[in-house]
Structure 1
Amino acid sequence: MKATVYIATSVDGFIARNNGGIDWLPSAGDTDSSEDYGYQEFIDSVDALVMGRNTYELALSFDSWPYGEKPVFVLSSRKVDIPEDITKIVESMSVPPREVVCRLSKRGFQHLYIDGGKTIQGFLSEGLIQQLIITKVPILIGEGIPLFSALPHDVRLHHLETRQFENGLVQSKYKVIEDIA
């Protein structure tokens, strides 16, 4: 099973404002380009998404469901309300990251897209992320929800590539190096 993070951060490392707001992210109207920053190629490569409740609720607030027919697993310790139009593709789970990977692997999923700050941090802490694709947006927001937090150990990365886009976004891909202890 492979698990990948694909996420944007401010240059100072935040994925959202303290209130969860992402108004600082560039929108489609901010540029003439039809650039998707490799998103379509990435999303086509994954079997399912695993996200936290806050990320899920943010996705529900968009004009339309952004993940098409891809299966989405929402991690939450509380009941998750799932609108009827997506009940066939969205499911909630209340288990630790390692158990999520185990259950989804048994169901035949091979490549997971891990999204949401706490979810990413939990999977990273347990050594369950194999690749990080991080796009830095040229803005400092000063405070907010950080992509990374304290880890129980160092997580070594191998830089695979970096791309710069016309609007100033910089995207880097890293492979997580598994420590053999």
Structure 2
Amino acid sequence: MTFTATVFIGTSLDGYIARPDDDIAWLTSRGESAGDLGYFAFLDSVDAVVMGRNTYDKVVGFGEEAWHYGDRHVGVLSTTLPEDADPRVTVYRDMAGLVADLDERGIRHVYPDGGRLIQSFVRAGRVDAFVISVAPVLIGAGHRLFGELAEDVPLRLESATDLGGFAQLRYTVEK
């Protein structure tokens, strides 16, 4: 069995997910007026969340109230996070081990979160859909959602919705 993966993320109009110093206040401050943009309904649709080390550190830094993952499987792809750092997570050292373990667990729908992790999933051909909420702001610099690719990734637009000033774009990856 193999899982499907859906990216759910917010970006600036110019394609950044965080400022150079990892700040996301430009997103969270605007997001407060737009609501959760469907995040919690989306989270209910997944049975595993996988994030990179930077995203894990950011989520943990927000405190317990930001740990919205409940009892679903949570993985962190990191070469530096100690394997016993957090009893709520499984630490993976490489993409091959992560994919093999998720398949072995019978995971059906994965939410990859974090810029570099998403880029790794895209390059590995492991993303099936994107839900991108575009904030009405240009920030000019920072961490881009997408990095360099060896080849095009063809997408099919499923919907474009105005959510309180945010444009939420839903794409399916054409495989």
TM over 0.5: yes
> Which aligned pairs between 1:151-170 and structure 2 lie closer than 5 A?
151-166=149-164, 168-170=165-167
User: Aligned pair 1:174/2:171, yes or no?
Assistant: yes
For residue 170 of structure 1, what is the amino acid of its counterpart? A
Share of identical aligned residues, percent? 42
- Aligned residue in 2 for 1:82: 85
CA contact (8 A) 1:59 1:66 kept: no
Is the Cα–Cα contact under 8 Å of residues 52 and 78 in structure 2 kept in the other structure? Answer: yes
Post-superposition shift, 1:141? 0.7
Distance 2:51 2:69 in 1: 12
Aligned residues: 170
Any conservation in 1 of the 2:7–2:112 contact (CA below 8 Å)?
yes
Write the distance in 2 (CA, Å) between the matches of 1:100 and 1:156. Answer: 25
Q: Which runs of 5+ in 1 are unaligned?
A: none
Structure 2: gaps (5+ residues): none
The Cα of 1:30 is off from its aligned counterpart by 4.0
SS at match of 1:171: strand
Which residue matches 1:4? 6
Render the CA deviation track for 1:102-147: whole Å, top value 9, x for unaligned: 2211111110000111100011011110001000001111100000
Paired position in structure 2 for 1:46: 46
Higher helix share: 2
RMSD between aligned alpha carbons?
1.7
Output the amino acid matched with 1:107: R
Kindly provide the amino acid, as one letter, of the partner of residue 173 in structure 2.
V
AA aligned to 2:157 is H
Counterparts in 2 of 1:30 and 1:37: CA distance versus 1, 3 Å: closer
Q: Hey, what does 2:74 align to over in structure 1?
A: 72
